[in-house]
Structure 1
Amino acid sequence: MKWARGTTPDGLEITGVITDDVFHPRAGFGSDTPKGEAVPLSDVALLPPVVPGKFIGLWNNFKAAAEKAGNDHPTHPLYFLKADTSLSGQGAKVDIPASAGRVVFEGELGIVIGRTCKNVTVEDAEQAIFGYTCVNDITSLDVLNADASFPQWTRSKSFDGFGVVGPVIDTDVNWKDLTITVLVNGRERQSYPASDMILPPAQIVSLLSQDMTLNPGDLIACGTSLGARPIKAGMEVEVLIDGIGGVSVTMTDPEKG
């Protein structure tokens, strides 16, 4: 099942399920209760499929990238938080502020939480995962490394629009079968298997729930692997995951309008 959010031509915001290119509004995230008439998908402007209370991102969670960098495999998620105002979705224009300097894309698999989790087992965590989505965890490398005494993870990843999510949440995919691909101006720049994760989704959720309560709608980006590269204004960047779809944004220069 593919869940999405969007706006209709009359400006109404709807949440619901997409089947056969038709958007079926529901009463809310995960609800079985219909709300209004079905709408052709072509008439809906898609929004990020979830508005997370917490947007959590992981670092160093793929074997190939860890081994190339000489990093040990973590036994607990190494994570940061992205600001809620970093959220953007399909078709957005994402400004690269002058203060951000050098910026890179990071194509990632996103986990969407479906029920409250606190100190849950791996087995219970598996049941708490609502579904999966595409994430582009855009990052300012210049800001991240500007101060040798304090890597600025939150600031470097929280510029407006730097948390690209979409186009849908798929509740039926098997994460082990997925490949995360990034196209820049239509050219493949990153492609790696989700199965190369060090900490798999259910274990990520279980371990994070030891640190904080996870709530329905919280989003966890599983980290990226090899191939992340710099991007500039004018570039179209799309994260594709077979079975989920693709979410594309265009990078822009705010000084040029």
Structure 2
Amino acid sequence: MSVWIRYRVSAAPDQPGLAGFGLLEGQSIAVCTGDMFGDFERTGQLLPLDRVTVDIPCTPGKFIGLWNNYHAQAAKQGLAIPAEPLYFIKASSSYCAHDQAFDVPASYDGRVVYEGELGLVIGKTCRNADLDEAARAIFGVTCVNDVTALDLITRDASFAQWTRAKSFDTFGIFGPVIATGLDLSTLEVRTLVNGRERQNYTCSDMIFSPAQIVSMLSREMTLFTGDVIACGTSLGVLPLKPGTVVEVSIDGIGVLRNTFAPDRSSPNNPSVVQ
């Protein structure tokens, strides 16, 4: 098992900082050069984790999210089991790293919900893959908070606005690392809201397994190195209040923590309830 992390080191708080990546070893980063997904070398430098800002662990060309992929959630909502993965795409401008705040534009005054999920990270180009090829194409996994502007999806009766509802700036939260070598069928996703557990479900309840997801999606679009696929969420999704801290925790990956911090001075500040 390996745990990969990307980071930035800044000389001053208002500077973007120098980017780097490496292997997380305890509370230190073993700095690497080269390509996380290919040839890399350790530099021999160890960088304390508390001296860096954690970045998104990769830069996906595509961030795909599944809907209705857990048996428990489908049963509760009375949804039919889909014959194929049902998915949407989150805009690349929505990406948000661990410990960064997420918010909404002033134009939106509706409910915002968290969705704790397992994220698959593609490690090589994948097209028309069978199940074995698809499984080998999964480089590793990460935590995802698939934030959603819930009221937008059905606002227009003629068109379900999934992409819009999922793609606000900062709504594509994933990280803090990419973990490799885990048994994905044994993983459990926990979501804590201000320290209180709201979601706790096992990935073995998926309707489509990770390999099936990658295989079936690759029949319709080429998947590239660094692409991320969020496997869908299960029970326990609720609206958020401003100032709420959301933590998505998966053993072997870690904890993805972010705060919902909309601009309270906006005249359209969301009036949401929990």
Corresponding position: 1:57 with 2:65: yes
Secondary structure at 2:191's aligned position in 1?
strand
What residue is the counterpart of 1:161 in the other structure? 170
**Correspondence list, 1:65-214, <5 A:** 65-100=73-108, 101-214=110-223
1:139-194 superposed Cα distances (whole Å, 9 cap, x missing partner): 01111110111110000000010111011100021111111111111111111111
The separation in 1 between residues aligned to 2:161 and 2:152, in whole angstroms, is: 6
The 8 Å contact of residues 113 and 217 in structure 1, kept in 2 or not, is answered as: yes
The separation in 2 between residues aligned to 1:122 and 1:33, in whole angstroms, is: 31
The 8 Å contact of residues 111 and 201 in structure 1, kept in 2 or not, is answered as: yes
The separation in 1 between residues aligned to 2:264 and 2:26, in whole angstroms, is: 41
Aligned-pair identity in percent equals 51
Q: How many residues align?
A: 257
Corresponding position: 1:5 with 2:9: no
The separation in 2 between residues aligned to 1:183 and 1:20, in whole angstroms, is: 23
What residue is the counterpart of 1:28 in the other structure? 35
Shift of 1:36: 7.0
Normalising by structure 1, we get a TM-score of 0.96
User: Residue 92 and residue 253 in structure 1: after superposition, are their counterparts in 2 closer, same or farther (change >3 A)?
Assistant: same
The separation in 2 between residues aligned to 1:37 and 1:85, in whole angstroms, is: 32
The separation in 1 between residues aligned to 2:251 and 2:147, in whole angstroms, is: 21
Secondary structure at 1:202's aligned position in 2?
helix
List gaps (5 residues or longer) in structure 1: none
The 8 Å contact of residues 16 and 28 in structure 1, kept in 2 or not, is answered as: no
The separation in 1 between residues aligned to 2:138 and 2:6, in whole angstroms, is: 18
Secondary structure at 1:256's aligned position in 2?
coil
Larger helix percent: 1
Shift of 1:58: 0.3
Which contiguous aligned blocks of 4+ residues in structure 1 show a shift greater than 3 angstroms? none
Shift of 1:37: 2.5
Secondary structure at 1:205's aligned position in 2?
helix
What one-letter code is carried by the residue in structure 2 that aligns with 1:126?
A: A
Shift of 1:20: 2.6
Normalising by structure 2, we get a TM-score of 0.90
